[in-house]
Amino acid sequence: MVSFDYAPAPESTSIVDIKSSYGLFIDGEFTDPAAGGSFKTISPSTEEVLAEVAEADESDVDRAVKAARRAHTRVWSRLSGRERGKYLFRIARIIQERSRELAVLESIDNGKPIRESRDVDVPQVAANFFYYAGWADKLEYAVAGRAPASLGVAGQVIPWNFPLLMLAWKVAPALAAGNTVVLKPAETTPLTALLFAEICQQADLPPGVVNIVTGAGDTGRAVVAHPDVDKVAFTGSTEVGRSIARSVAGTDKKVTLELGGKAANIVLDDAPIDQAVEGIVNGIFFNQGHVCCAGSRLLVQESVADEVLERLKRRMSTLRVGDPLDKNTDVGAINSGEQLAKIRELAAVGESEGAAGWSPPCDLPAQGFWFPPTVFTGVTQAHRIAREEIFGPVLSVLTFRTPSEAVDKANNTPFGLSAGIWSDKGSRILWMADQLRAGVVWANTFNKFDPASPFGGYKESGYGREGGRHGLEGYLR
Amino acid sequence: MSRIDVRKTYKLSIGGAFPRSESGRTYEVTDAKGAFWANASAASRKDARDAVVAARSAFKGWSTRTPYNRGQVLYRVAEVLEGRRAQFVDEVQRSEGATKRQAEATVDTAVDRLVWYAGWADKVAQVVGGTNPVAAPFFNFSVPEPTGVVAVSAPQGSSLLGLVSVVAPVITTGSTCVVASSVERPLPAITLAEVLATSDVPGGVVNVLTGTLRDTLPTLASHRDVNALDLTGTAGDAELAAELEELAADNLKRVRRGGGAEEDWTLDPGLDRLTWTLETKTVWHPIGR
């Protein structure tokens, strides 16, 4: 049989200029850290060192918070909403102008396919700034029955799975509401945040309005714990979220937490199967499964389970795993060696607890961090792979007989971030959406985002919402 | 010979029933002048856990009532409270050391507050929810939903108006609650529980515990089946408030802080107390033929 293999279609990296070392972005300037510490960020697909990045300690964070406070008191809170909005519009436009550069850099530093960074992440980033820019002079329409005011300095800590998008989710509403920010990007993916700092300079954003401090957990803790931070916004693991909730206890800080999930993606017997399979694939293999709202628990009605699984496996066999910068790639590299080890550990637990794992045959590159798309069948609710967030391309399949049973199983988790429903029957979809204890419910679709749409969890998936008018409220007094 | 009055035994309110504390303990409640008034139940940790179980089992039924129906029930509470106005005026007067006129004004405001929240039940979703204009062919809407079981530390000073002001908004939107009443002034809380029990509020929707905060609040704050914690009653006790907030972090409860001093309950409450116990659920569906 003739095989029609794809020829490689690599994206050129010449558009990106990665410096050998980066400082901290404080008060509008790149500066050296006081203690001079640094760490390396590598490309997860090649393990090549990309750059040395400054590590901020407590004194650096303090400097950043002071700069943010000054900028808030003297400049940003005094600007009219209209003028603040114009800065945000400028930023949105520069992001659009430099979108290819941002997408390539994001894929290099994060390992995600260029197809996703180019077509999903960066357009969404620009859209978030554009959306919130328009709110800046309309704040009094955002909150019912009270006069809004900014909180002050926002300390923001974001994860490595959507480095630039999470930055936009945090920075855009904060600035629109009149706050200034100190942002800490993840230690494995700091580069696009530092490029964003340059964008702030190009936009002539007043110094101190946005400050970016790079570093790992200790730097993040210093941001969260700083006594002069008025608002803490965090996206990341439930475990860290808990410790943040503890550390702000007894203070006046306002907090938004976007934490883990273990979303149920429910396929009912009348679902459009091909669309559902596409949604299942998108739900769990998008961004290598590094998505807090990933549809990691597939709940499929018993009568259609065999058919769904068969078509799912066939579809998984067509997924192309490999070079993130190849435009044909569907699944890129796992973000770090550490994360790969966690995924491997939980997959091994899945096997040892009696579930059956399956992956399509695929050649993984010799260098870098890779994990093949994997589906586990024979999973019960007691299995760890059905309870714990894996944060990788690993799907657990459970079955159910009645829609009520599906709801019970879907809700049987301490998380409550997202859920999916696949059915052709509108009344059934609305009934089920009503029963599910989750902040986002995707019906006959999955993993969709928009700046105008609120996002956030119930229960241990955190509190507060980001996106839309709701996202703005978290930054207003 | 003059008539001996029939004194009231004040008990707890759990799941629509009025049990004594399982511990058998009571504590002495005095009126504002310091004279013995009654022995109130001193709720134990077990009572607190029982109350959470009652609140959880009431949640499904209460949260799925129509907002119209919940509004009717809230209004009914106002009716019954108004009908027992004299009793509350007396209890507020004795609890708070108020004049008769002040106590009357307080009870009237409490009734009016219930009426205000009754009217919100079927409107809040329109004010804080809505459709989201996403840039793709999807119908996308957000609705507010009740968070679940809310533990409420009621104000220490305002024994009736403050209590009504913290409980009514929680149940208006469909959450259920366990309330730790004012420690020194617990009696209007139990009488209010009697009003709720005769106002079509299902058993378990509001559970009232009397006793010291140290006996009940840490249990509620660390309870895995409590979704939110209102620390209003710890106003002024920063140490206790911080300790409880830390316990609440275990299952990431939503926490409403108490602040430095008790607020002025006669002011317009705004939407804040209504919305802090709400979750926002956003639903996406494709548009197409």
Q: Residue B1: which pLDDT band, with cuts at 50, 70 and 90?
A: confident
Residue type, A212: I
C-alpha to C-alpha distance for A291 and A278, rounded to whole angstroms:
17
The interface predicted TM-score (ipTM) is 0.96
C-alpha to C-alpha distance for B98 and B106, rounded to whole angstroms:
10
The string of pLDDT tens digits covering residues A76-117 is 999 999 999 999 999 999 999 999 999 999 999 999 999 999
pLDDT at position A310 is 98
Six-digit token pair at A40? 């390396």
Nearest to A203 by CA among A225, A183, A227, A175: A175
The string of pLDDT tens digits covering residues B22-75 is 999 999 999 999 999 999 999 999 999 999 999 999 999 999 999 999 999 999
pLDDT at position A168 is 98
**In the predicted model, what is the mean pLDDT of residues B4-18?**
96
The string of pLDDT tens digits covering residues A286-335 is 999 999 999 999 999 999 999 999 999 999 999 999 999 999 999 999 99
The string of pLDDT tens digits covering residues B111-132 is 999 999 999 999 999 999 999 9
Q: Residue A4: which pLDDT band, with cuts at 50, 70 and 90?
A: confident
In chain B, alpha helices (H): 45-63, 67-83, 85-96, 100-120, 124-128, 161-172, 187-197, 213-222, 238-248, 272-275
Could B132 and A453 be called an inter-chain contact, meaning their C-beta atoms sit closer than 8 Å? yes
Could B132 and A465 be called an inter-chain contact, meaning their C-beta atoms sit closer than 8 Å? no
C-alpha to C-alpha distance for A151 and A149, rounded to whole angstroms:
7
**Annotation marks residue A351 as catalytic:** no
Does the pLDDT of residue A2 top 80, yes or no? no
User: Which residues on A lie below 8 Å from B61 (Cβ)?
Assistant: none
CA of B267 vs chain A CAs: smallest distance (Å): 14
**In the predicted model, what is the mean pLDDT of residues B261-273?**
95
Q: Collect all residues from A whose CB is shorter than 8 A from any CB in B.
A: 127, 144-146, 238, 241-243, 245-246, 248-250, 252, 257, 259, 414, 429, 433, 438-445, 448, 450, 452-456, 458-460, 462-463, 465, 468, 470
The string of pLDDT tens digits covering residues A421-471 is 999 999 999 999 999 999 999 999 999 999 999 999 999 999 999 999 999
Q: What's the length of chain B? A: 289
**In the predicted model, what is the mean pLDDT of residues B80-108?**
98
Q: What percent of chain A has pLDDT over 90?
A: 97
The string of pLDDT tens digits covering residues B178-217 is 999 999 999 999 999 999 999 999 999 999 999 999 999 9
pLDDT at position A1 is 63
pLDDT at position A362 is 87
B25 touches chain A (CB under 8 A): no
What interhelical angle do A426-435 and A403-411 show, nearest 10? 30
Does the pLDDT of residue A3 top 90, yes or no? no
Count CB atoms within 10 A of the CB of residue B179.
29
Select from A127, A238, A439 the Cβ nearest to the Cβ of B281. Answer: A439
Report DSSP state, residue B174. Answer: T
pLDDT at position B17 is 98
Residues in Cβ contact with B152 at an 8 Å cutoff, skipping those fewer than 6 apart: B166, B167, B170, B177, B178, B179, B180, B230, B232, B233
Average pLDDT taken over every residue of chain A:
97
Q: Which of B126, B143, B285, B289 to probe by mutation at the A interface, max A CB count within 10 Å?
A: B285
CA torsion A314-A315-A316-A319 (nearest 10°) is 130
pLDDT at position B97 is 97
Could B282 and A455 be called an inter-chain contact, meaning their C-beta atoms sit closer than 8 Å? yes
C-alpha to C-alpha distance for A341 and B231, rounded to whole angstroms:
42
**Annotation marks residue A258 as catalytic:** yes
Q: Residue A5: which pLDDT band, with cuts at 50, 70 and 90?
A: confident
Residues in Cβ contact with A42 at an 8 Å cutoff, skipping those fewer than 6 apart: A48, A49, A50, A188
Does the pLDDT of residue A410 top 80, yes or no? yes
B282 touches chain A (CB under 8 A): yes
Q: Name the region of A354 (left: φ>0; alpha: ψ -120 to 50; beta: rest).
A: left
Strand segments, DSSP code E, in A196-341 are 210-212, 231-235, 254-258, 264-267, 297-301
Could B284 and A429 be called an inter-chain contact, meaning their C-beta atoms sit closer than 8 Å? no
Cross-sheet strand order for the sheet of A374-377: A356-358, A374-377, A394-400, A297-301, A264-267, A418-422, A440-443, B278-286, B138-146, B130-131
Residues in Cβ contact with A304 at an 8 Å cutoff, skipping those fewer than 6 apart: A267, A269, A271, A273
Six-digit token pair at A288? 């290598």
B 112-131 residues inside an 8 A Cβ radius of A? 127-128
CA of B24 vs chain A CAs: smallest distance (Å): 34
Could A448 and B284 be called an inter-chain contact, meaning their C-beta atoms sit closer than 8 Å? yes
CA of A344 vs chain B CAs: smallest distance (Å): 27
Secondary structure class of A197 (helix, strand, coil): helix
Q: Which helix (H) or strand (E) holds A69?
A: helix A58-71
User: Which residues on B lie below 8 Å from A438 (Cβ)?
Assistant: 281
Select from B140, B242, B270 the Cβ nearest to the Cβ of A145. Answer: B270
Count CB atoms within 10 A of the CB of residue A13.
13
The string of pLDDT tens digits covering residues A353-372 is 999 999 999 889 999 999 99
Does the pLDDT of residue A143 top 70, yes or no? yes
Residue type, B99: T
pLDDT at position A395 is 98
**What is the bridge-based pairing of β-strands B228-230 and B149-153?**
parallel
CA torsion B130-B277-B252-B234 (nearest 10°) is 150
Six-digit token pair at B278? 């709400």
**In the predicted model, what is the mean pLDDT of residues B282-286?**
98
Q: Which of A55, A106, A200, A292 is catalytic?
A: A292
pLDDT at position B278 is 98
Could A454 and B242 be called an inter-chain contact, meaning their C-beta atoms sit closer than 8 Å? no
Count CB atoms within 10 A of the CB of residue B91.
25
Residues in Cβ contact with A409 at an 8 Å cutoff, skipping those fewer than 6 apart: A264, A299, A381, A398, A400
Could B142 and A257 be called an inter-chain contact, meaning their C-beta atoms sit closer than 8 Å? no
pLDDT at position A144 is 83
CA of A361 vs chain B CAs: smallest distance (Å): 33
User: Looking at chain B, which residue has its C-alpha nearest residue A462?
Assistant: B252
pLDDT at position A78 is 96
CA of B155 vs chain A CAs: smallest distance (Å): 18
C-alpha to C-alpha distance for A390 and A382, rounded to whole angstroms:
15
C-alpha to C-alpha distance for A330 and A75, rounded to whole angstroms:
45
Could B245 and A462 be called an inter-chain contact, meaning their C-beta atoms sit closer than 8 Å? no
pLDDT at position A145 is 86
B17 touches chain A (CB under 8 A): no
Does the pLDDT of residue A228 top 90, yes or no? yes
